[in-house]
Amino acid sequence: MRVCKLSTAVAAFIFAPAAAILRVTESSVQYILENDDLYVAINKTNGQMGDLILGGQDLVGTGRGPYLDCHCVPEGSWAPGKSKLVKYQLIEDTDSPGTAYGGIVMTDIYQTTNQTLSQYWFLREGETGLHLFTRATYNNDTANGNMGELRTLFRPQPTLWTHIYGSEGNWAPYPKSAGVEIQDATKYFGNITGEPFTQYSDFYTKYSFSDLWRDHKVHGMYSDGTANDAGETLGSWVVHNNVETYYGGPLHSDIMADGIAYDYIVSSHHGPRTPNMTDGFDRTWGPSYRHFNKGGTLDQLAADAAQYADRSWNADFYDDIAKYVPNYKTSDKRTTFKAKIDLPDGAERPIAILAENKQDFQNNTIRADSLQFWGDVDESGDIEIPRVAVGTYRLTVYADGIFGQFTHDNIVVSKSTYNSIDIREFSWKEENAGKEIWRIGKPDKSAGEFKHGRKLWTESELQPEEYRLYWAVHDFPTDFPNGLDFKVGESDPAEDFNYIHWSRISEVGNFFRDTPYLENVNNWTIRFDLDENQLRDTEHATFTVQIAGLKTGTNNPDYVNLPYTFNVNGADVETWVLPWYYSTSCGVRGEVSCYNFGKKFVFPTDILEEGENSFILSLPYNASSVEPAQLPWTTYVQYDALRLEFK
């Protein structure tokens, strides 16, 4: 074992080659990891990966391999590795089976706030990938900080790569033209002959290549062989082998690739909370795995990378390197969580989540040591989640088709818990406020079943799901010239209920409109018939509104908290104030599932009548935001599902 702590001030020194094939060396300008297949070099000047070579093929050119940056300092963004305080550590060791590995650790200090970021890169003999960890510390008793964004980025020379791969089935050729910029990270290519991206859409937006983390395995970039002299196909992949240290649970969603292959460790593009850093904060995220391969089709290389999306893969290796990685939970501090859930009738795709105790799993950022684990519940209600760290958690279970969710706090997971044959049993009863009269949509924590949701866009060759496209392509005034008027039992949610309920159609960020459109936008009408039998012997009605995404009025004090008014048969029943802290750019950044929450409006049934009734769901007329980024100036909600019950 060899460990060297270095700084940029150290004179150039090249270690003699070790007996193992893997080499850990230093030149005058770089720190180097190398095995027979992969060559990795970190620049001393900036802490970023200047060279990345797979089997003799340069993968980054004039760009950079996986490096770290954040939005976590008072001035905004910070890319550690450039200060005079940066330090490096070189690691050369063998794991338990005797396989050689090496590591480079870069630690930089942001002196103003006395916070550090450390990036760990490990390379193992026989692998063509890098194992990454990221650590942050904050030691400042005079001011708190916020980790607004933390990510590693593979940012290569664009001409070396030809395709973007967001998730299975969602990929596109990388744009070759400059295009016309419309809004944040969105360009128009429809007027450019021969532009390959138009196979996907005339409008490019990086948010098209987002994905939910629940079942996500791999994303990245592909080269079809036309961009290098050898004619070799290449893949650069981010593998989700482990997301236990990240945030937001299975509903987390973010950008995966856009010419950069991202690993978003902390982010809030689509709603997850971000952690505050207080004095003594110390957290390590990871492991994550960056895989590089060549010699196959896009699908073949993606599948090769996806095989490593398993939390048990390389677990022994991570135990071995834990002596270099503070805060990592080794196998002796883990066990398998087992339970049996009595599920409600009709539960589809049930999932169980262990996350921060006494917090919604979407808010699992309160404790610096919080972790998250999840797994699918099988048809019989059994759930096993392997490699859960010992600790105390909240258990959450939800399922498609079921309103609400099951939660249970103070779930203690210990090594001794499962030494017996006893399995914990829980009974989940669906929320019930009486007899169901009707529902609109399917409770699945998304707006994907509504118009312009997950339906395929058939006007392009690659046919992405419609919600992934630039939002203004789906022009609400064209689809609903008289506004949204939905008749229960007659209207079709997939065609007659929009995936976004706007307060206004913004002219800012809108390729098609120079002025805002305001008429028949903010008020949505739901009509439904009732008969005498449905109303007889009832006193209370409950109207449940489950929200899958919210955007309030950024920088507009009138609508930072957004009023939402529920009207029954012409009379306002209640105004619900939608809070700013649930707000996020969801639909305009290509998503239908963001921060989920809901409300039950309870009112007397005597304001209803036999025959036709109406609900009006209202956002404020012309309720605008004032966006610092180039995004639409509007507010909106996206519905998961709605239900009316009588009791």
268 and 341, same domain (yes or no): no
The reported pLDDT for the residue numbered 1 is 63
The reported pLDDT for the residue numbered 418 is 54
Determine if residue 360 is left, alpha or beta; phi over 0 gives left, psi from -120 to 50 gives alpha, anything else beta. beta
Pairing of strands 163-167, 391-400: unpaired
Domain count across the chain:
3
Q: Are 499 and 638 in contact (CB under 8 A)?
A: yes
Single residue among 371, 400, 427 that ends a domain in this structure: 427
Structure tokens at 539: 């006193």
Answer yes or no: pTM beyond 0.75.
Answer: yes
31 and 56, same domain (yes or no): yes
The reported pLDDT for the residue numbered 589 is 95
458 and 599, same domain (yes or no): yes
566 and 537, same domain (yes or no): yes
- What SS3 state is found at 262? strand
Single residue among 427, 453, 485 that ends a domain in this structure: 427
Provide the sign of the torsion angle of the four alpha carbons 398, 449, 218, 159, taken in this order.
negative
The reported pLDDT for the residue numbered 20 is 47
Structure tokens at 251: 């509903």
208 and 320, same domain (yes or no): yes
5 pLDDT above the threshold of 90: no
The reported pLDDT for the residue numbered 423 is 82
307 and 354, same domain (yes or no): no
The reported pLDDT for the residue numbered 21 is 85
Rounded to the nearest 10 degrees, how much is the dihedral formed by the CA atoms of 145, 147, 152, 157? -80
Structure tokens at 599: 């409300």
Q: Are 513 and 472 in contact (CB under 8 A)?
A: yes
Q: Once rounded to an integer, what is the mean pLDDT over residues 322-329?
A: 98
Please state, rounded to an integer, the average pLDDT across all residues of the chain: 95
- What SS3 state is found at 496? helix
185 and 272, same domain (yes or no): yes
% residues pLDDT > 70 (the chain): 96
- What SS3 state is found at 430? coil
Range of the domain at 109: 2-324
- What SS3 state is found at 334? strand
Tens of pLDDT, residue by residue over 101-136, are 999 999 999 999 999 999 999 999 999 999 999 999
Determine if residue 408 is left, alpha or beta; phi over 0 gives left, psi from -120 to 50 gives alpha, anything else beta. beta
Of the candidates 48, 89, 88, the one whose C-alpha atom is nearest the C-alpha of residue 66 is: 48
Tens of pLDDT, residue by residue over 413-442, are 998 755 545 689 999 999 999 999 999 999
Q: Once rounded to an integer, what is the mean pLDDT over residues 202-215?
A: 96
Question: SS3 string of 381-425?
Answer: CEEEEEEEECEEEEEEEEEECCCCCEEEEEEEECCCCCCCCCCEE
**Rounded Cα–Cα distance for residues 288 and 311 (Å):** 10
Single residue among 374, 401, 427 that ends a domain in this structure: 427
CATH number where 518 lies: 2.60.120.260
Across 6-10, 106-110, 250-254, 413-417, least confident range: 6-10
29: confidence class by pLDDT, cuts 50, 70, 90: very high
Tens of pLDDT, residue by residue over 372-405, are 999 999 999 999 999 999 999 999 999 999 999 9
Q: How far is CA 422 from the centre of its chain?
A: 35
- What SS3 state is found at 300? helix
The reported pLDDT for the residue numbered 7 is 44
CATH number where 376 lies: 2.60.40.1120
527 and 607, same domain (yes or no): yes
Structure tokens at 635: 């507010």
Residue 356: exposure state from Cβ atoms within 10 A (0-12, 13-18, ≥19): buried
370 and 281, same domain (yes or no): no
Q: Are 147 and 156 in contact (CB under 8 A)?
A: no
CATH number where 187 lies: 2.70.98.10
Q: Once rounded to an integer, what is the mean pLDDT over residues 608-624?
A: 98
Tens of pLDDT, residue by residue over 444-487, are 999 999 999 999 999 999 999 999 999 999 999 999 999 999 99
Q: Are 307 and 241 in contact (CB under 8 A)?
A: no
User: Facing residues of 289 across strands?
Assistant: 131, 239
234 and 273, same domain (yes or no): yes
**Rounded Cα–Cα distance for residues 336 and 356 (Å):** 17
26 and 128, same domain (yes or no): yes
261 and 390, same domain (yes or no): no
3 pLDDT above the threshold of 70: no
Structure tokens at 237: 């992949």
Q: Once rounded to an integer, what is the mean pLDDT over residues 321-333?
A: 98
